Amino acid sequence: MLPIQRLAKHRVTITCALATAAALLVMIHIGWQLVNYYGDGQLLGPLMRFHLDKERNIPTLFSTLLLLSAAALLFHIRHHERMQRSRDAAKWTVLAIGFLYIAIDEFGHIHELLIRPGQELLGDRSLGLFYYTWVIPAIAILLVLAVYFLGFLLRLPARTRMAFIIGGTLFVGGSIGFEMLEGRHDELHGERNLTYMAYVTIEEALEMTGVIVFINALLHYIDQHIPVRSAHATPGPSLATAPRVQASVAAAASMERLDPRC
């Protein structure tokens, strides 16, 4: 049994552990906000490591590892689907590569590099929900992918399909939906206020929850729809062919005994 398939047997425990870790990060971030506005400023330094809106800290690392885990599970499923010559092998490949890129983007905040050039391109007008201009190409790409994956989604087992829809809705609702609300509020009131940070908290909580739901769905799919036997193993003779092999060996031994040259 492959390690990933062993993990799939414990998907409930894994999901609960990930959800607990995500909840703790969110609660620590909320505590940071309360300390920031009402408490002792000396505590801000250590707690900054748990700020959900900063780069390369503990929440960013956790979110990146979640996305990398989802990508690893997708690559495992993709390998199985290719071995089975499934019509959806290419779709699993695109999903795996997509999650790998999102993990890299989560750690490096690559999408934010598009904000300033987009604002300059659109001019000085009020952009409202599109103030963070990276959401414009993101929405366009999302619509294209929705059409591309529609048939694939409908062919999935019912439980997996529903989990994919729930996880995707939570993740997109946080990463794009609440990001748009943050952009509008930032344009009007700036970032240094509790309302903006409330948006950030909800955004990151939805993103982490969405990926955890998705990981649970992938583990369930692996457990229920991928054979326990390793896809990398070289298949040996089946039970059906074993008697024929034994008969051939016995016949060869008899011929050697009858041959006078032996």
Domain spans, the chain: 3-229
Given a cut of 80, whether residue 96 has pLDDT beyond it is yes
Q: Which residue has the higher pLDDT, 251 or 223?
A: 223
Given a cut of 50, whether residue 32 has pLDDT beyond it is yes
pLDDT value, residue 22 = 97
- CA 162 to chain centroid, in Å, comes to 16
pLDDT value, residue 237 = 43
- Report d(CA 214, CA 70) in Å as an integer: 7
Residues 50-65: pLDDT tens digits? 778 777 789 999 999 9
pLDDT value, residue 29 = 87
- The DSSP string of 167-193 is HHHHHHIIIIIIHHHHHHHHHHH-SSS
Confidence of residue 125 (pLDDT cuts 50, 70, 90): confident
- Report d(CA 182, CA 12) in Å as an integer: 33
User: Is the overall model pTM greater than 0.95, yes or no?
Assistant: no
Given a cut of 70, whether residue 229 has pLDDT beyond it is no
What is the average pLDDT across 91-112? 95
